[in-house]
Each structure stands twice: as C-alpha cells, then as structure tokens.
A and B are shown apart, each in its own frame.
Chain A
Amino acid sequence: MTERAFSVTIDGETQVVHIRREGEEHLVRIGDSQERRARLDQVRGPLYALRLGERTIEVMLRRTGEETQMVVGGAACDAVVVDEARARLAKLAGASSVGTAKRELKAPMPGLVVKVLVQPGEATHKAQPLIVLQAMKMENELSLPHDGVVQHVGVEPGQTVEQGQVLVVLE
C-alpha cells in the first residue's frame, strides 16, 4: 500500500529507511538491503521490543520532535528522523537543509572555563582541545569532531557558563 521513507541520522551518518505497510504488517528496507517484516511494540514506558523477522531486540527510546534518544545494544545514541516527503517539501519551500554540520562548541554542562586554548583566526583540527571546562570536579577538555578556523571565542578563563552556551565558533 503506502510507502514512506525516513532519513535517519545517527553519529553523523544518514541512512534511509523505507517502511511499507500491508495491513498489520510493516515491511522495512534500509539502504539497499532486502525488505523484512518489522514491528515496534511498546512494552512499558520507554522500553520497546523491535522485531525484525524472527529476531527480537530490546530498545529504549524517547522522541522529542525530530530527535530520538535511544539505547540499542548497550550504547546510547541520538537519531534525527526526517520524513523524506516532508523534507522535500521543506526544500522546495527554501528552508535550510537538515543536518548542517555543527560548527559551534557549546558547553555540554554548566561549569567554569579554566582555559581557552585557541584564538580567533587559528586553524584547528578535529579533536583538538579548544576549551578546558571544569565541571563535576573534573577538568574537561572540549573539542569538535572536525577541522576548522576559529571565527569567534565567546568566553574567557574564569567565566562561569551555562549548559548550551556557545564557547567557540569555527568557520
């Protein structure tokens, strides 16, 4: 009957999941793989049972808007789920595309800026420590997962920052 496609981005990697519904059944295809019967049943609260053919996998998940927080196989991950049809509409309407690379280093938690390790104009490589933030009694070196050039440093040593506050912006 109807087929819907969702692009799901996890760890920066996007996969397209096609879902076709036939009565009670869902037939799922991911990338170029074969179509399989699948269903997702809520057990209680955030606990779900994912069934793929005869396979069962326990999943914990919670969705807020396009973001889905989940735990699969012991590992937590965040998935951004975009309905392909809607994304096409959004594109036609000229909206900015989904999944622009994160160029901002934000404070992952409230804390005290101990050190600023870069200056505007400085070229940085991925995983290079940019800021040292003291929180939970530990000094944490914060970095970004890509190369860039420092455009702006928003904080200075000794400053207290809130969670989500922008610390460094890369070009």
Chain B
Amino acid sequence: MRAAPFTKLLIANRGEIAVRVIRACHEMGLQAVAVYSDADRDALHVRMADEAFHLGAAPASESYLRIDRLIETARRAGAQAVHPGYGFLAERPDFAEACGAAGLVFVGPPPSAMRALGLKTEARKLMAAAHVPYVPGTLDPLPTVDAARAAAEAFGFPIALKAVAGGGGKGLRIVRDPADLDAAFRQATSEAGAAFGDASVYVEKAIERPRHVEIQVLADQHGRCIYLGERDCSLQRRHQKVIEESPSPALDDDLRRRMGEVAVQAAQAAGYTNAGTVEFLLAPDQSFYFLEVNARLQVEHPVTEMVTGIDLVREQIRIAAGEPLGYDQSAIQPRGHAIECRINAEDPAAGYLPSTGTIVGFRPPLGPGVRVDSGVEEGGQISVHYDPMLAKLIVWAENRERALDRMDRALREFLILGVKTSIPQQLWLINHPAFRYGDVDTAWLERTWTGTENVERAADDRALAAIAAALHADAAAAHVAVPASAPAHAAGRSSWRAAARAGWRS
C-alpha cells in the first residue's frame, strides 16, 4: 500500500529551513515550489526553488500564516505535497487538515496526533495513560490566579507557569517566590494569548538544574517507530536554544536506550508518524521527565543527521509518501559528535537586542566537518517581521573535544557584517570550562552571562579594529585607492587566535 508518489512539493516556509527542504527535493528529483512575502521577493529560498509564488505582505499574518493562500497556491502550482518546515503553520492541525481536504499530502504527523500533542495539558494526560514519566503538575488548565496559587502550593515552589498552547518559552514563567505569582500569571497569560491566541496556562513543578535532552524519532505509516539518539540543548536563554549537541555529555548507553524507548512509547501513544522530537528534562540524579513532543522537524535536526548519517528531511518526505522506513533500531549507530550554533542577528552584550539591517558582508566558514544551513547571503535584509536566526553552524568531529575545537575554528572564520551577531557569545561559550566539561543546565547561561565577558578579548581586537578603521579613513582622505587586486590568501590561519597569543599591545 504505497501512497501515490508525488513529484512536486510546496514549502510553506521561508529562510534557512525552506532552503534545506528545497535541497532535499532536488536531491530526490522533486520539483520545489517556494512561497514568499513582500519582504522575501529576492530571498535565497525563492531563487533556489523551481517555482516561486507571492503570498502577501511582509507580516507573517498576511503571508506565511495564510492557510487559504497557501492551499490555493499549491493548487495553482500543481503541487501534490506540502512541507511546513518549523514555526509558522508547522504544528497547526487545521493547516494539516486543510492540506488533506485539498488532496495535498502533508509532510508531517497526522492532524489527530498534532491535536493530541499540541495542547500540553492534553499531551500530559496522554503520557500519564501511557506510563511515560512527566513533570509533576496539573493535567488541566488553570482558569484563575487563585487556582494557579492552589496548584503551586500543592506541588510546592518553585513552579513553572506554562502556556497550554505553548512552545519556544512564550507564556512561560518560573516562579520561586509565592509573592511573584500574581504578576507571573498575568505575564504568562497575556504572552500566551498574544503568541498562540489561547491564554490558558497550567502549573508544573520546576525541576532544579535540569538538562534539556530530546530524542529524535522517526515513525512510518506501517507501524515502525525508531529513535535516532538524543540532542542536548541545555544551553538556552529565555528558553531559546543557543547551542545543541549530540550525543549528550550527560547520557550513558543505558540511559540513552531507556530514554529512546520511552520516546518511542510516547510517539506511539499519540499515533504519531513522520519525524518528531520528544523533549525531556533530565534531572541531576538521571531521572527524566516528558516535557512535550515537537510534532515537526526541529531547528537543530542537523546534529542528529551528522551523527547518524540519516537525512531527516528526505526521510520525512519518504514517510509522507507512504514508504516504509526500511531499517530498524539496530541500524542506528551514532558516530562521533556534532554541535550546532544558532547564529542570530542580536547583541548578547546588550540584552540580546535584535539587530536589523542589511547583511553587507557574509563569509561563512568552510573546511572539514563544517556545515552551514543558512537562508541569507550578502545583500539580504534582516527585518523585524521574522525570527532573527541568520544561519546554523554545525560541525562534526570524531569526539566532543575535537568538535568543540572545530566549532571554535569555524566561528572565528565566520564573518558577518551589517548586523550584530551571537558569534562572540558562542565563542565564549565554546571555550567556557563549564561547557567544556559538560557541566551546564538550562538556566546556566542566564545565571552566568553578564554581557561583559568579551571585554578582555575585545581590548586586543579594539586595537586591530582601530588600526583598520584609521587606515581605511586615511586611504579615503588621501584619495589613494585601496588596491582591489591585492592577494589575500593569508586567511588560512585563525587570525584572532594569533592575535590573542601575540597581543598587539604587549
């Protein structure tokens, strides 16, 4: 029972993930259809696709979130399948249903599984019934602050207030002091309402110093479900992941197997198919708790691809086409170590302020074990309309230490001019002893980072920057043309490392 194979796929997304899916399409001999807003007319994903269709104005609500226009566009383009990417409509069951009603194959889980998992309280009930360990707390939404207070007192502070429809840390507040509960309840409900159109929240007991460990699963439409190892995403700020890696430095083979099996149990309980991620909190005593299922491809999926050698987007498309997985759990033998840095247009030294503008210069790193998934190039615009991620830098090496060294090298090679980026912070993180030893939890970055960490290093850079700026100004002032043809194959060695050692001022 093979579903009718499709030949043309519409990608209901933008940026790096649209590019990622287009690449998979082209490798599989499928036609890729892009969609774009006014802000993305000339974007990379538009140029890479075989066809591109205009959706509407720049705000996502008038373009990438318009289910009616997407379905209409897929019809017009003659696409037989739709890949939602992540974000936007990826976890909206009504979108998956609308695709189904229009005769389009939705590359993702069935709407019923998305519904069962989309509301966190419903997902928690499902896991309770399937004997999957979940974080202690309420199984129902709490309509009033008084109900929240009663639940918080029953489970004991600190607690987490979480949006029932939540994700990405929106509508989430950790409350340590009962006196802060009223304000936190107000913030969480208003943020949840604004972000998800559903203001309801529930209470979970806060697990102290947890790691975030998630299991990638793949489930075909023929009842086979396997896990593809874990990703450790403990470096976060405001519940946004900053660096992800696989394998986790906190897992041994036994714990990995147990978490993997529970993740498969969780996916099967929800009738899940396609690629999905089961997120857990891992406590210091190695007990782990179900957090949620991300019913889509994850931003950080490349680290799993690097260690397992499995192309997750290709597998998503194959599974959606009704093909069987064709391999079982024993075929999954992760090798080496992979790390991903999310390069964001923001300034971690100034409260992570988003940075908008034109990408004037963009020179991504290359070389052994380096992968850059990006949706921007020189000339690209970083606008306020979409999330500030510029690129994902992923490295692979035979073990964690070498992967960290490789990431350090690649970050130093990565030059982006025009907006502030998270690269300085990631360089600091990659070289921080606590991260090097694998001794961090999900709140570590926020506890530790003050924003002034790069000052010492910057002192030497400042001198170099001042000299370059002065030479440039001098050349312009003297009307002496800076030769454009001068060879600059001096790039090979890490300039900054040399700078740090030599010390211009010494």
Q: Please give the residue numbers on chain A whose beta carbons come within 8 Å of chain B beta carbons, in ascending order.
A: 4, 6, 8, 10-11, 13, 15, 17, 19, 21, 26, 28, 30-31, 33, 38-52, 55-63, 68-77, 79, 81, 83, 108-111, 135-143, 163
Contact = CB atoms under 8 A, between A and B. Distances in A.
B147 interface: no
Interface string B218-254: 0000000000000000000010000000000000000
Contacts of A50: 464, 467-468, 471
A73 B470 contact: no
Contacts of A6: 469-470, 473-474
B424 interface: yes
Contacts of B477: 4, 83
B476 interface: yes
Contact of B495 (A21, A58, A61, A77): A58
Given A47-B415, A74-B496, A141-B351, A8 B471 contact: no
Contacts of B145: none
Contacts of B3: none
B378 interface: yes
A86 to B, nearest CB: 9
A69 B417 contact: yes
A4 B476 CA distance: 13
A51 B491 CA distance: 11
Contact of B354 (A15, A38, A81, A109): A109
B466 A46 contact: no
A61 B414 CA distance: 14
6 contacts: A30-B467, A46-B360, A59-B465, A61-B468, A69-B417, A79-B466
B462 interface: yes
Contact of A83 (B353, B355, B472, B473): B473
B471 A39 contact: yes
A143 B347 CA distance: 13
Contacts of B464: 50, 52, 57, 59, 72-73
A41 B486 CA distance: 6
B421 interface: yes
A40 B467 CA distance: 9
| From A28, A55, A110, A141, residue with most partner B Cβ within 10 Å | A55
Interface of B: 170, 191, 195, 238, 351-356, 360-361, 363, 378, 384, 386-388, 411-412, 414-421, 423-424, 427, 454, 457-458, 460-478, 482-484, 486, 488, 490-491, 495-496, 498-499, 502, 504-505
B505 A62 contact: no
Contacts of B495: 55-58, 73
A13 B462 contact: yes
Nearest to B421: A76
A30 B468 contact: no
B395 to A, nearest CB: 15
B491 to A, nearest CB: 6
B483 A42 contact: yes
B471 A74 contact: no
Contact of B351 (A4, A10, A140): A140
Contacts, number: 215
A75 B459 CA distance: 12
B486 A8 contact: no
A171 to B, nearest CB: 22
Contacts of A68: 469, 472-473
A6 to B, nearest CB: 4
A108 B354 contact: yes
Contacts of B475: 40
A140 B378 CA distance: 27
Please indicate which of the listed interface residues A8, A47, A138, A140 has the most CB atoms of chain B within 10 Å of its own CB: A138
Given A48-B488, A58-B495, A79-B466, 9 more contacts: A6-B473, A26-B471, A28-B470, A47-B488, A49-B488, A61-B417, A72-B461, A73-B496, A74-B496
Nearest to A110: B384
A6 B387 CA distance: 39
A75 B417 contact: no
B454 A75 contact: yes
A55 B461 contact: no
B471 A38 contact: yes
A63 B488 CA distance: 20
B63 to A, nearest CB: 15
A134 to B, nearest CB: 8
B189 to A, nearest CB: 14
A149 B318 CA distance: 63
Contact of A77 (B386, B465, B491): B465
Nearest to B498: A55
Contacts of A108: 353-355
Nearest to A48: B468
Q: Which of B388, B415, B458 counts the most A-chain CB atoms under 10 A from its CB?
A: B415
Contact of A10 (B411, B466, B496): B466
A53 to B, nearest CB: 10
Contacts of A57: 464, 468, 495-496, 498-499
A52 B469 CA distance: 14
A135 B354 contact: yes
Contact of B457 (A26, A73, A136): A73
Contacts of B384: 109-111, 135-136
A49 B490 contact: yes
